[in-house]
Copies of this chain bind each other. A is one copy, B any other.
Amino acid sequence: MSEAAVSFPPARVGADIDTIDTPALLLDLDVFERNLEALDRSLAGRRVRLRPHAKAHKCPEIARRQVARGAVGICCQKVSEAEVFVESGIADVLVVNEIVGAAKLARLARLAGRAAVGVCVDDEGNVGELAQAAADAGSRLDVLVEVDVGANRCGVPPGPSVLALARRVAASSRLRFAGLQAYHGRAQHLRAPEERRAAIRGAVDELRATLALLEANGLPAAMVTGAGTGTYELEADSGVYTELQPGSYVFMDADYGRNLDADGRPVSRFAQSLFVLATVMSRTRPSRAVVDAGLKAHSVDSGMPLVCGVPGARYTRPSDEHGVIELDGPGTLVLGQKVRLIPGHCDPTVNLHDWLICVRGRLVEDIWPIAARGAFF
């Protein structure tokens, strides 16, 4: 077990962009910073708190910038992610997911002794295990009941099931009923704005009734948290959500790029800041270029990456270490040329890389470790 992976960044700070080895994960800092500003601007005057989802970036440098701009903390999906972010100085970390299993629960409860740590539940037995883990660790945990408002994944249905779980949580001296987790994941990628609006309206109506039920039973929910990059303004305006969890807005991806605004044009608030830089490594046919970035450098679960700045170029076929790009004509892309790809889906793509190479113009300005890469426990 002594052989660790050789991991060193594929670039040097201060070097020209052309010296970056590939495949590399590139962050355009100008665009990234504009995305941070655009989110803040869109929430100005709205009475909701921002808790960005760190599962998208897995990067303490980004989390610290988000908190420095006013985010209350971050959320994440896994205990091992939470450990990385607490370790890096984030004081308020919400695990917006259920945590099952003795090893994970013990680590979560210990972490709650070092920072404000919260977690979600959707099962009565799990509430008991959480309370026991907190008692064993001598800590207290904030607990949110997860409500399934349309994601069809985790969470209990709105209404009496939520009240029953909230009562279980409130009955434990080691747990504090902190509110509701209500993330409508499916709504994020509905293409038309009226579809997204209808989905969130349905979620909000159900939440409102559930909140009234809790209130009537002496268990008001101090926090209602959820929302993603595709819908967060709808949750912000709902009067129900108190916290928003967008994550992808810092990067964007090809799939989010297919969301449309009311005029049928791509939603343009956020721009693409994240790229996989690849090199043309084979060029033996006029209409085909092969790049060195395949399934191990970006995720194709939400479709193929887009090729930037090469008219008519289509990334059509990934294999483990290769990507085949079909070309309209022989005049574009030469051997050794570097190409920017827009990943199909940013979150699982980031998770394939150890380093985020931060560029401004043609300069490598910084290199940020993706410290929670692989932190899926």
Using a CB–CB cutoff of 8 Å, the interface residues on chain A facing chain B are 1-7, 9-10, 19, 21-23, 55, 60, 77-78, 80, 83-84, 87-88, 97-101, 103-104, 122-123, 125-126, 148, 152-157, 185, 279-284, 288, 290, 292-293, 295-297, 299-301, 317-322, 324, 335-336, 345, 347-348, 351-354, 367-377
Which of A301, A320, A353 has most B Cβ within 10 Å? A320
Known contacts A155-B282, A348-B296: A84-B21 contact under CB 8 Å? no
Shortest beta-carbon distance from A25 to chain B in Å: 11
On chain B, the residues within 8 Å of A296 by CB distance are: 347-348, 351, 374, 376
A and B contact pairs by CB, cutoff 8 A, 19 listed: A5-B369, A5-B370, A23-B377, A98-B281, A99-B281, A100-B279, A100-B292, A100-B335, A101-B279, A126-B335, A152-B288, A152-B324, A153-B282, A153-B319, A156-B284, A296-B347, A296-B348, A296-B376, A354-B374
Q: A100-B280, A299-B295, A336-B101 are in contact. Are A77 and B123 (CB under 8 A)?
A: no
Q: Judge whether A123 and B283 touch: CB under 8 Å.
A: yes
B374 touches A10 (CB 8 A): no
If the complex has contacts A296-B348, A301-B295, A320-B347, are A1 and B369 also in contact, measured as CB distance less than 8 A?
yes
Closest 5 CB pairs of A and B: A154-B282, A295-B348, A77-B321, A3-B371, A100-B281
With A335-B100, A375-B5 known to touch, is A321 a contact of B55 (CB < 8 Å)?
Answer: yes
A98 to B322, CA, bound (A): 11
Beta-carbon contact of B318 and A154 below 8 Å: no
Residues from chain B with a CB closer than 8 A to the CB of A335 are 100, 123, 125-126
Give the Cβ gap from A22 to chain B, nearest Cβ, in Å. 7
Q: Given the complex, which residues of B lie within 8 Å of A99, measured CB to CB?
A: 281
A24 closest partner in B (C-beta): B377
Bound Cα distance from A99 to B290, whole angstroms: 12
Q: Is the CB of A377 within 8 A of B10?
A: yes
Which of A19, A157, A335 neighbours the largest number of chain B CB atoms within 10 Å of its CB?
A335
State A60–B4 Cα separation when bound (angstroms).
Answer: 11
- Tell me the nearest residue of chain B to A347, going by C-beta: B320
Q: Are B373 and A5 in contact (CB under 8 A)?
A: yes
Known: A152-B324, A299-B295. A374 touches B352 (CB 8 A): yes
Measured in the bound complex, the distance between the Cα atoms of B157 and A290 in whole Å is 15
> How far, in whole Å, are A22 and B3 apart by their CA atoms in the complex?
22
